[in-house]
Structures are given as structure tokens and as C-alpha cells.
């Protein structure tokens, strides 16, 4: 038994006129090039910044447990209580600035870069070859994008770790970043690049 297609008329002249007007409108052009990649970059930047920034308190407790397991020996909840009791509620947000800024950059390069490198693979190998080897294309694009994203993230992650491990080191992102740059040089920002690359 075949079914009839749905009726095109709704029974309302106003609704039918509105449908006809919408159907006659040209479809908006899909973004390409920089416009397309910037949309992916912005979406990735905002999402990564918000999610990683919101979890700053968990990261503070995790870092304290790793640095001082004797003092912080009662798990995540116990760690929160000890940090708050010893340093105040604001201490759990130590490193929020470098975390939010670092993952804003990392998310932009990661998501925008992934789409860029994926398109470059399609342009280089052709659509059919890229489609037949899509897993390799996806992995290659993701690896290239993540490598560049981690170059952007690493200095801010180094600043965050220094602030969390020593709350008296500096007063926030700008002070910590400047102090590391002045006293230890640019190389200090990338001392943990290998582990961050494998972590991400």
C-alpha cells in the first residue's frame, strides 16, 4: 500500500503565502575558508575555556594531592575541605585566569585547526582517497591541530601550575606569566611540553 505525499496546502491562505515566500528566498551561502574555520575556532575556544575554567577547583585539589600527599590524603572532598579551611574559599579558584585563557587558545587552535587540516588533506589527496582513508585523515588532522594548540596552551599551563603549587608565587595570570618570563626565560614555559602533548 503506497502512501500519498503530504499535502502542500495547509488550508490557511496566510500560512501558505508565508511558506511560498520562504521557499522563494535564496538559501544562505554556507561559510567557507576563514569564515568557516573562525566559527569552529570560536566555538572550540568558548567551550574549552568554560569547561576547563569551571573545573579549576578540581584541578587545584588534584595538584595539591600530587604535590603534598601527606597533607592532602583524604580524597577529593577532603582535599576541598582542607584547601578551604587553610586558605579560604577563593583558594580553590587559584589559576582560573591561566586555565581559562590557555584553554581558550587551545580550543580555538584545536577545533579550528582540525577542520583546516582535514580540508587540506581532502585538497591534497582528493575527496575519494580522503574518504576511503577517513580514519587516517581524521587522526592526522587532529594530531596536527593538537600539536599547534599545545604550543599555545603550554605557557599558560606552566603559569597555572606555578600559581597552584605556590600560591605566593604571584598574584594571578599577568604577574605569574611575567615573573616566569623575567626570571626563567621563554624556555621555562615549554619545560612540560612533552607531557602536555601526550596528555592532550
| pLDDT given at position 189 | 94
Question: Domains (ranges, CATH) in the chain?
Answer: 31-199 (1.50.40.10)
Cell of 74: 583524604
**Amino acid 5: pLDDT:** 55
Cβ neighbour number for residue 179 with a 10 Å cutoff? 16
- pLDDT string in tens for the chain (200-residue length): 556 555 666 777 787 787 878 777 766 677 778 888 999 999 999 999 999 999 999 999 998 898 889 988 898 999 999 999 988 999 999 999 999 999 999 999 999 999 999 999 999 999 999 999 999 999 999 999 999 999 999 999 999 999 988 888 998 899 999 999 999 999 999 998 988 888 87
Could you identify the residue written with the cell 581532502?
122
Report which of 194, 186, 189 is spatially closest to residue 162, judged by C-alpha positions. Answer: 189
pTM of the model: 0.78
By the 10 Å C-beta count (0-12 exposed, 13-18 middle, 19+ buried), 57 is classed as: buried
DSSP H helices, 5-133, are: 13-24, 33-54, 56-67, 75-87, 96-125, 127-132
Amino acid at each position: 500500500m503506497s502512501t500519498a505525499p503530504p499535502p502542500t496546502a495547509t488550508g490557511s491562505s496566510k500560512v501558505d503565502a508565508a511558506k511560498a515566500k520562504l521557499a522563494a528566498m535564496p538559501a544562505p551561502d554556507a561559510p567557507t575558508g576563514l569564515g568557516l574555520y573562525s566559527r569552529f575556532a570560536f566555538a572550540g575556544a568558548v567551550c574549552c575555556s568554560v569547561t576547563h575554567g569551571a573545573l579549576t577547583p578540581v584541578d587545584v585539589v588534584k595538584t595539591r594531592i600530587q604535590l603534598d600527599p601527606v597533607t592532602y590524603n583524604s580524597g577529593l572532598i577532603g582535599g576541598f575541605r582542607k584547601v578551604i579551611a587553610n586558605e579560604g574559599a577563593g583558594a580553590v579558584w587559584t589559576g582560573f585566569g591561566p586555565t581559562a585563557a590557555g584553554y581558550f587558545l587551545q580550543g580555538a587552535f584545536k577545533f579550528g585547526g582540525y577542520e583546516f587540516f582535514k580540508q587540506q588533506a581532502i585538497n591534497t589527496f582528493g575527496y575519494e582517497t580522503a574518504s576511503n582513508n577517513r580514519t587516517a585523515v581524521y587522526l592526522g588532522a587532529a594530531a596536527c591541530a593538537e600539536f599547534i594548540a599545545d604550543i599555545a596552551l603550554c605557557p599558560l599551563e606552566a603559569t597555572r601550575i606555578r600559581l597552584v603549587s605556590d600560591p605566593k608565587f604571584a598574584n594571578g595570570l599577568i604577574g605569574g606569566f611575567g615573573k616566569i618570563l623575567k626570571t626563567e626565560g621563554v624556555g621555562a614555559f615549554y619545560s612540560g611540553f612533552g607531557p602536555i602533548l601526550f596528555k592532550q
